[in-house]
Amino acid sequence: MVISDVLFSQALKKNPQFWGLNNKHVNWQKDGRILADELTVTTNTTITIENESLMRLNKNPKGRRCTRLCAYLWYAIELGLQHAANRISKDILE
């Protein structure tokens, strides 16, 4: 199942502990269950923290880099940091 960016963004906005601000570690095995439970209620579909497509990306270093940069790009846009968003976008496209 594909979760829309709008639903995912709303869930992340409600839970700032997932943002990883100030280099704070996010324990996705533990805290990811909270997000999965919330998305399960929102979508009326069972959501788990296991994601096969992300596991496949994790085997590819370039895919992992792009995935990490996309998360930072999302944060930069949400925080209104246009210069940072432009630099991250450039790095992703290289």
Q: What is the pLDDT of residue 91?
A: 80
What is the band of 67 on the pLDDT scale with cuts at 50, 70, 90? Answer: low
User: How far apart are alpha carbons 38 and 91 in whole angstroms?
Assistant: 32
User: How far apart are alpha carbons 21 and 7 in whole angstroms?
Assistant: 21
Structure pTM?
0.47
Write down the domain spans for the chain: 1-59, 63-93
SS3 assignment for the chain: CCCCHHHHHHHHHHCHHHCCHHHCCCCHHHHHHHHHHHHHHHHCCCCCCCCHHHHHHHCCHHHHHHHHHHHHHHHHHHCCCHHHHHHHHHHHHC
What's the pLDDT tens digit per position in 69-82? Answer: 787 888 888 888 88
